[in-house]
A and B are shown apart, each in its own frame.
Chain A
């Protein structure tokens, strides 16, 4: 059993933390009881905003000694309950640890605190002509959160995911010890890679307090192309051909008219084109505009030959903003279009993406529920939303479970994974178990025990 926090605990924590950075009881906003999707609610007993690794270490040392559970949280933009304090205890919010500590142009790294927002990091490195390639849609997420879920995003087709850009991590272990995993070095063949174990562990093994991230020179040119199609079927049939065409694409996103119209309503801003049923959005980047022109000409001709109505250029800051800001708001827009929703963030092999999107349409008909989707067609990661649309509780749960069972079963059949980038958290544990089997889950449990023998860090998550 975990210890409930009492006056003594609060007095101790207040002995080294100023009043304004430690909140208790009614002082804690209900926002901290849930994540962005709000599937599960539970408030922490104490909410702390630390400023340094040493403060986190002292909090953990005390919590470990007194059996108090601890959950780390960034912006709380997750969708699977990973940042919810299921057992109360202490919540460590990293949002005041938001400093960019160093830009190392000799090693091509940037060192940051975990509370730095993705949008601030991207803007900072771009000002210095560098690119931090991971580009999840949720730009107000923290880097700590991105690392904890191994977030992917829209440029994964060419650049890979967060894991590919983490060089080193400073972490606080559950008993308060401070360790550094990894380094600025490009290579390492030096024992088990603990840094990689932490990436994607959703705050269950340790707390990240600093990260060394890899950056790349900023490509001088980036052009997107928006291709309208008369139907979603026609649009997604193009995707395998695009991959086979060997074109150097940075992003391949798909979106339906319904989702775009929801985003228009949500943002109160018009999308540049809403005349067709489905769209594919492509991005090309590099330093040589003539090479990019060759690439998009090849790809646009291929798409036109396969039924694209046209190809629209998205080549200036304003045009990129008008298209990509809508793309970035799809999740919130679908959420605003219904009273409740749940999401399925499966990833399937790229060769199966069009089959899987078609399957979501079949499931929608079979179960009788609205299932809008959008996502990263180029890397096989879909974002599928089951919408409640005012159904009574029992019917909603029944239809939701049926839809999830069908979708996850088909993803397993295709050799897919439960989550592409949003993580497992609390909500997807059962599906992870089904996917991986008892042996693998047991291995994970044993790893958790080595790091956190008292099971204090983000308990009941992932496994």
Chain B
């Protein structure tokens, strides 16, 4: 049985979030939440792979109990089971502590052939958790993966490297981070919602005590090597310029170049 784990995260449901002026952190209370859109693409790839290889798919998330809703959503989309890593000791984690906690969670889940993460999250935006998770687990990994096939115990991956597309075989078990825009994720099914309801039987919650490493200093705020000093909203520019004369394609090129878009 080919076992796939897909890491997912609950993020704010809109781009209109407020920032606490004192702590400089995102105010998440009262803001609608959703599954990180990049993770939906990872999940879609995982579900397709699981179907093609007669495998199973487990989703893994870390967060407060509210994050159960994205695990349920993944089950309504087709995942067989979900695991939530939830403990106050996990709170305030940076990339290092998050990826370490996830690696401990994966050890607690047990055997697996493939781990898939999305490209990045829409709230943290670091795009580093996937790669660091693979390092903690000591398994090979590739980022910006656009498509994959399983053959002869290896994973054949097509991935982007700046302006090049590369094809590579990597040994299983391994971890891949998907590129953005690689598929259109399927939608959650009402029939599966009727069938699984709150999916209590399909979801397990792991706490700090379920982790193999019982050293608290490796988790959460204590296990974080970095600290966010301040988050602020970038200034919005709404000015418009109109050009009607001359070589407009040349002008467009100049403006894009001047603003470093190309």
Q: Contact residues of A with B, CB < 8 Å?
A: 20, 225-226, 269-273, 300, 304, 310-319, 322
A313 contact from B37, B40, B188, B244, Cβ within 8 A? B188
B183 contact from A270, A273, A316, A318, Cβ within 8 A? A270
Chain B residues contacting A273 (CB-CB under 8 Å) are: 186-187
Chain B residues contacting A313 (CB-CB under 8 Å) are: 76, 187-190
Select from chain A the residue with minimum beta-carbon distance to B38. Answer: A318
Q: Would A304 and B185 count as touching, CB distance under 8 A?
A: no
Q: Which of B195-235 contact A (CB under 8 A)?
A: none
Q: Would B190 and A318 count as touching, CB distance under 8 A?
A: no
Q: Whole-angstrom distance between the alpha carbons of A304 and B195 in the complex?
A: 14
Question: How far in angstroms is the closest Cβ of chain A from B72?
Answer: 11
The verdict on B259 contacting chain A, using a C-beta distance below 8 Å, is: no
Q: List 16 A-B contacts (CB under 8 A).
A: A20-B244, A270-B183, A272-B185, A272-B187, A304-B190, A310-B190, A312-B186, A313-B187, A314-B187, A316-B35, A316-B37, A318-B40, A318-B185, A319-B187, A322-B184, A322-B185
Number of interface residues of B (CB under 8 A): 18
A272 contact from B186, B191, B244, Cβ within 8 A? B186
Q: Would B188 and A272 count as touching, CB distance under 8 A?
A: no
Chain A residues contacting B185 (CB-CB under 8 Å) are: 272, 318-319, 322
Q: Whole-angstrom distance between the alpha carbons of A228 and B244 in the complex?
A: 48
Q: Would B245 and A20 count as touching, CB distance under 8 A?
A: yes
Q: Would A310 and B186 count as touching, CB distance under 8 A?
A: no
Q: Would A271 and B190 count as touching, CB distance under 8 A?
A: no
Chain A residues contacting B37 (CB-CB under 8 Å) are: 316, 318
Select from chain B the residue with minimum beta-carbon distance to A326. Answer: B184
Q: Would B184 and A270 count as touching, CB distance under 8 A?
A: yes
Q: Contact residues of B with A, CB < 8 Å?
A: 13-14, 34-35, 37, 40, 76, 183-191, 244-245
A312 contact from B40, B189, B244, Cβ within 8 A? B189
Q: Would B14 and A312 count as touching, CB distance under 8 A?
A: no
Q: Whole-angstrom distance between the alpha carbons of A436 and B35 in the complex?
A: 53
Contacts A20-B245, A318-B37, A318-B40 given: A300-B190 contact, CB under 8 Å?
yes
A226 contact from B14, B183, B187, Cβ within 8 A? B187
Main SS of chain A's interface residues? mixed
Q: Would A310 and B189 count as touching, CB distance under 8 A?
A: yes
Question: How far in angstroms is the closest Cβ of chain B from A320?
Answer: 11
Chain A residues contacting B191 (CB-CB under 8 Å) are: 304, 310-311
Given contacts A310-B190, A312-B187, A313-B188, 19 further A-B contacts (CB under 8 A): A20-B244, A225-B190, A270-B183, A270-B184, A272-B187, A273-B186, A300-B190, A310-B191, A311-B189, A312-B186, A312-B188, A313-B189, A315-B188, A316-B35, A316-B37, A317-B13, A318-B40, A319-B185, A322-B185
What 4 pairs across the A-B complex have the smallest Cβ distances?
A311-B190, A312-B187, A270-B184, A313-B188
Contacts A316-B34, A316-B37, A318-B40 given: A269-B190 contact, CB under 8 Å?
no
Q: Whole-angstrom distance between the alpha carbons of A269 and B181 in the complex?
A: 9
Q: Whole-angstrom distance between the alpha carbons of A304 and B183 in the complex?
A: 28
Question: How far in angstroms is the closest Cβ of chain B from A207?
Answer: 22
Question: How far in angstroms is the closest Cβ of chain A from B249?
Answer: 15
Q: Whole-angstrom distance between the alpha carbons of A300 and B191 in the complex?
A: 9
Select from chain A the residue with minimum beta-carbon distance to B41. Answer: A318
Q: Whole-angstrom distance between the alpha carbons of A271 and B185 in the complex?
A: 9
Q: Whole-angstrom distance between the alpha carbons of A87 and B40 in the complex?
A: 55
Q: Would B186 and A316 count as touching, CB distance under 8 A?
A: no
Q: Would A316 and B190 count as touching, CB distance under 8 A?
A: no
Select from chain A the residue with minimum beta-carbon distance to B76. Answer: A313
Q: Whole-angstrom distance between the alpha carbons of A168 and B37 in the complex?
A: 42
Q: Whole-angstrom distance between the alpha carbons of A270 and B186 in the complex?
A: 10
Interface core residue of B40, B76, B189, B190 (most chain A CB under 10 Å)? B190
Q: Whole-angstrom distance between the alpha carbons of A461 and B184 in the complex?
A: 44
Question: How far in angstroms is the closest Cβ of chain B from A325?
Answer: 11
Q: Whole-angstrom distance between the alpha carbons of A316 and B36 in the complex?
A: 10
Q: Would B184 and A271 count as touching, CB distance under 8 A?
A: yes
Question: How far in angstroms is the closest Cβ of chain A from B185?
Answer: 7
Q: Would B190 and A317 count as touching, CB distance under 8 A?
A: no
Chain B residues contacting A312 (CB-CB under 8 Å) are: 186-190
